Chain A
């Protein structure tokens, strides 16, 4: 085949045109195209002929040819076991029935060969580490792990109790069990998983094929803890409760598993939700079907499944009730709510434990009111609005004023005086905005927006109408998006803010058409803020830097305002662990503000306090302390009761504690709490942060009775005003646990510490020192509860992490070292 690239282009064009034509026209057109080029004609003709005969050839990738060559193992001996037959193949390997070759009674076991291609050494290392924990899982609904080892050819295997039974979903379908019976089986599953969670074991690969039902109706869960053993990323010394693992089975994996985030007991709650969904409806909440994996995954992360009652159709497999409609009625309402609560995307909005999921199922069965609530938009927004103290107002003009008045972003407010005419224009526009929102609310259907409307509900109603209301005014459309976006951002809804602000940015670029403008820089700055909230720190940093470069290139900018923007960059840098760089940048910001900021400018004390907290982070306590004090003094000069004073005193208290000055720390901690509580109320996040500081100090100051009381006060507010993600909640459990153990209640202490660690695992990255600190405390409690092996393991792991993160000399590390020494080894 000798063909030049030019020639090929001509052939290609001719073929493309001719292939579309019907045969009769094709011949005519071909003759026209090639009337003085017989060579081209032959070439194209032969290709057209080949196209006619090719059929489906080449459409199927040849990868199937790799198939084949499976190794037969039946009849072989593996370690001391004789393989009898293959039972099945699952996510991690092949399972065989076997019995001990040297056992006269020939007790049957299930032998699981781990698939090739995995890191054998790591698996065995983890196995040795975990076997004690796994072997201690004794529960009637859990198949016991008996043994494990490695074959002569180096393949790892596990030996488990042999379970005779049928997959739970097949069992239900085949027997056409009514809903009540299915729920009974499901409760057995919950009981087993809950028991394992209490023993710090997360299953991580719950799915119907791991849940068997015996002929007597007893449920047995297989493979507890095995997923962890096979996780290539898991360190051997981590408890089974943590670490991300690529899910073995996508359909049952929680969103956090799919994204590679830490796996916790909440992930098992999610998987159980999928299983319950499947048991009730005969289908999966997300059926990836033939979708590419990425697409299926995207759907599972982004869309909310159809509630079970609406997923039931006449074709649902195993739907047994005589009529589908009756099944639908049985599921609608409470069962829908139970399943959907377990399936929520955010781990902290699911059931707080498998136990509470099981309980709700039981309550439903007993006809009692359930705890799950429907996940309506109003509910969700209501909760957020309460937490963020955004006004909830009666329908009417007041709302429009609130939203209209928010028409200037933070940056806009700060620099408004530099752009007087711009501010004028905004005032005129603000009236239009007010009118717009007023119309939106008045014309909205009363069923959608009740007599009491939250700001967010009003905004939601407004969004689809922006473009038509201001069709001729691009500036207005941009400004509204920017306003709504920053509002979302400020009340902590970055997912909603992001698209709005990115649209605003794109529209602003159109408005600016290549010029550098203040609004353009601000649009980038706003998107950066969203990225920061979403935790995409690197992106946030580069956007912040881009917008700062633009601000700096504009004339007439206030250097103090520019410095504050750089202060934001310093925080992002610090959050990415580049503490030294952040300290440098932060110091420059402080220096600049010292010379340029006005006497009443809050920006200076804020910058100083941020700088100081970076120094604390770096362990430079002596340098940090005077800076905190300066920030406090500056802030007090304008208002001694300003909550910012309290906010600065909190890191000062911690700084003093770490420097070993417990008494001074206690007094700073008490003042911090007193000021924030008076200014912001007891439930405000800043107040809670202050309380967290004080709790830390109280324990080390030997004031356990007070610490216990305050910690219980926090825990009592859990769920109502304090979400599980609040760090203070985890702290409260940890400090409560530490104090209970110290005051002679090791059992109570252990329970509290377990919960504290679990909460931290759900909110902090796995290598965070505060998590290691919690694990070290938990280790001590385990030792005191007569579990020295596990306890020491945690004590040791916690200490090692603290050494790595904070250094051997750090206050927290030395405490952990002391605890470790105390256990006697």
Chain B
């Protein structure tokens, strides 16, 4: 279903004023758009661009939100939601690939090209996802930061804008989050 920029912008306003239903309606719209955009990136239609989640998120923002009426609060909410949507897309994808790999058990897989190209293994993505769920129970803000940085690829400055704290704070929190993830994933796998 296509949701108009005006409607998205309105929903962002509703989210900002604390309406939980608005969030429920926004997430699928953003999720859908990001998937379409990701699919088009995959076909390498974007010429010189390399596939980057932050470009996807920005592009979704430009397409979905009426720039003329949204304020910075709405913008922050949008990026927060888009990061959640990216996380869902990537984790779903990783799960599917893991399932496929299990399906052909003993066959030697040549399916490593993506990993060689710098993509982390699917298992890392799902492990980060699970670790993040635990982190969210003790420190939701930190978990959100990981979502923004790791899944949506926002820069320190952008993440600072979205979370409403200073870049210096984001930098510190991010360093700790990475250390924590490193330790969790090491003990987990």
Given contacts A90-B45, A115-B45, A297-B62, contact A62 B150 (CB under 8 A): yes
A12 touches B139 (CB 8 A): yes
Contacting A at CB under 8 A, from B148-189, are 149-153, 155, 158, 172-173, 175-184, 186
Question: B135: shortest Cβ distance to chain A, in Å?
Answer: 9
A48: CB under 8 A from chain B? yes
A46: CB under 8 A from chain B? yes
Interface string of A90-131 (1 = CB under 8 A from B): 111110000000000000000000011100000000000000
The CA-CA distance from A90 to B43 in the complex, in Å, is: 10
A47: CB under 8 A from chain B? yes
B119 touches A64 (CB 8 A): yes
B99: CB under 8 A from chain A? no
Contacts of B128 in A (CB 8 A): 58, 62
A residues contacting the other copy or chain, number (CB 8 A): 54
Interface string of A48-70 (1 = CB under 8 A from B): 11110110011111111111111
Given contacts A62-B124, A66-B93, A67-B114, contact A16 B176 (CB under 8 A): yes
A65 touches B93 (CB 8 A): yes
Contacting A at CB under 8 A, from B37-63, are 37-40, 42-47, 51-56, 58-59, 61-63
Contacts of A5 in B (CB 8 A): 137-139
Contacts of A62 in B (CB 8 A): 90, 94, 119-120, 124-125, 128, 150-151
A64 touches B55 (CB 8 A): no
Select one of A1, A12, A117, A260 contacting B40, CB under 8 A: A117
Contacting A at CB under 8 A, from B109-149, are 113-115, 117-120, 122, 124-125, 128, 134, 137-139, 142, 146, 149
B39 touches A116 (CB 8 A): yes
Contacts of B38 in A (CB 8 A): 63, 66
The CA-CA distance from A91 to B37 in the complex, in Å, is: 12
B134 touches A67 (CB 8 A): no
B119 touches A67 (CB 8 A): yes
A180: CB under 8 A from chain B? no
Range, interface on chain B: 35 or more
B104: CB under 8 A from chain A? no
Q: Which residue of B lies closest to A1 (CB)?
A: B134
Question: A739: shortest Cβ distance to chain B, in Å?
Answer: 39
The CA-CA distance from A54 to B124 in the complex, in Å, is: 14
B94 touches A65 (CB 8 A): yes
Select one of B39, B46, B186 contacting A91, CB under 8 A: B46
A89 touches B44 (CB 8 A): yes
A63 touches B52 (CB 8 A): yes
Q: Which residue of A lies closest to B169 (CB)?
A: A16
Question: B15: shortest Cβ distance to chain A, in Å?
Answer: 19
A292: CB under 8 A from chain B? yes
B43 touches A58 (CB 8 A): no
A117 touches B59 (CB 8 A): no
Contacts of A158 in B (CB 8 A): none
The CA-CA distance from A49 to B186 in the complex, in Å, is: 12
The CA-CA distance from A536 to B70 in the complex, in Å, is: 12
The CA-CA distance from A5 to B173 in the complex, in Å, is: 15
Contacting A at CB under 8 A, from B16-36, are 36
The CA-CA distance from A116 to B36 in the complex, in Å, is: 8
A51 touches B182 (CB 8 A): yes
Given contacts A64-B119, A67-B51, contact A4 B138 (CB under 8 A): yes
**Most-contacted residue by chain B among A58, A89, A536 (CB, 10 A):** A58
Select one of A16, A92, A209, A539 contacting B172, CB under 8 A: A16
Q: Which residue of A lies closest to B150 (CB)?
A: A58
Question: A249: shortest Cβ distance to chain B, in Å?
Answer: 7
Contacts of A49 in B (CB 8 A): 183
Question: B65: shortest Cβ distance to chain A, in Å?
Answer: 11
B3: CB under 8 A from chain A? no
The CA-CA distance from A192 to B188 in the complex, in Å, is: 63
The CA-CA distance from A61 to B159 in the complex, in Å, is: 14
Q: Which residue of B lies closest to A232 (CB)?
A: B2
The CA-CA distance from A47 to B137 in the complex, in Å, is: 19
Question: B158: shortest Cβ distance to chain A, in Å?
Answer: 7
Question: B114: shortest Cβ distance to chain A, in Å?
Answer: 5
Question: A287: shortest Cβ distance to chain B, in Å?
Answer: 12
Question: B13: shortest Cβ distance to chain A, in Å?
Answer: 11
Select one of B44, B67, B119, B134 contacting A65, CB under 8 A: B119
Select one of B115, B179, B184 contacting A15, CB under 8 A: B179
Given contacts A1-B184, A50-B182, contact A538 B69 (CB under 8 A): yes
A293: CB under 8 A from chain B? yes
B68: CB under 8 A from chain A? yes
B55 touches A249 (CB 8 A): no
Contacts of A64 in B (CB 8 A): 51, 114, 117-119
A366: CB under 8 A from chain B? no
The CA-CA distance from A5 to B137 in the complex, in Å, is: 8
B155 touches A292 (CB 8 A): yes
A117 touches B36 (CB 8 A): yes
Interface string of A75-97 (1 = CB under 8 A from B): 00000000000000111111000
B55 touches A293 (CB 8 A): yes
A293 touches B59 (CB 8 A): yes
Classify the interface of chain B: helix, strand, loop or mixed. Answer: helix
B47 touches A67 (CB 8 A): no
Question: A660: shortest Cβ distance to chain B, in Å?
Answer: 38
A246: CB under 8 A from chain B? yes
The CA-CA distance from A49 to B180 in the complex, in Å, is: 10
Question: A33: shortest Cβ distance to chain B, in Å?
Answer: 15
Contacts of A249 in B (CB 8 A): 47
Given contacts A50-B180, A60-B118, contact A94 B53 (CB under 8 A): no
Question: B112: shortest Cβ distance to chain A, in Å?
Answer: 11
Contacting B at CB under 8 A, from A1-42, are 1, 3-5, 7-9, 12, 15-16, 19
A259: CB under 8 A from chain B? yes
Question: A6: shortest Cβ distance to chain B, in Å?
Answer: 9
A293 touches B58 (CB 8 A): yes
A377: CB under 8 A from chain B? no
A61 touches B152 (CB 8 A): yes
B117 touches A54 (CB 8 A): no
The CA-CA distance from A115 to B69 in the complex, in Å, is: 31
The CA-CA distance from A53 to B46 in the complex, in Å, is: 35
The CA-CA distance from A15 to B142 in the complex, in Å, is: 14
A471: CB under 8 A from chain B? no
Interface string of A166-186 (1 = CB under 8 A from B): 000000000000000000000
The CA-CA distance from A587 to B68 in the complex, in Å, is: 31
The CA-CA distance from A538 to B142 in the complex, in Å, is: 37
B86: CB under 8 A from chain A? yes
Select one of B117, B138, B175 contacting A51, CB under 8 A: B175
B153 touches A61 (CB 8 A): yes
Contacts of A1 in B (CB 8 A): 134, 184
A246 touches B180 (CB 8 A): no
A152: CB under 8 A from chain B? no
The CA-CA distance from A246 to B86 in the complex, in Å, is: 22
The CA-CA distance from A115 to B142 in the complex, in Å, is: 38
Question: B58: shortest Cβ distance to chain A, in Å?
Answer: 4
Question: A42: shortest Cβ distance to chain B, in Å?
Answer: 11
The CA-CA distance from A59 to B45 in the complex, in Å, is: 25
Select one of B62, B124, B173 contacting A246, CB under 8 A: B62
The CA-CA distance from A90 to B46 in the complex, in Å, is: 7
A294 touches B62 (CB 8 A): yes
Q: Which residue of A lies closest to B186 (CB)?
A: A50
Q: What 3 A-B pairs come out closest when comparing CB atoms?
A: A65-B119, A51-B179, A61-B153
- Can you identify 19 A-B contacts, CB atoms within 8 angstroms? A1-B134, A1-B184, A7-B138, A12-B142, A12-B173, A47-B176, A47-B179, A63-B53, A64-B117, A70-B42, A89-B45, A90-B45, A93-B45, A94-B43, A115-B40, A117-B36, A292-B155, A294-B58, A539-B69
Given contacts A54-B182, A58-B149, A294-B61, 17 further A-B contacts (CB under 8 A): A5-B139, A19-B175, A51-B175, A51-B179, A60-B118, A61-B54, A62-B151, A63-B153, A64-B114, A65-B94, A65-B114, A67-B114, A89-B47, A90-B45, A292-B54, A292-B155, A293-B62
Q: Which residues of A does B touch, CB under 8 Å?
A: 1, 3-5, 7-9, 12, 15-16, 19, 46-51, 53-54, 57-70, 89-94, 115-117, 209, 246, 249, 259-260, 292-294, 297, 536, 538-539
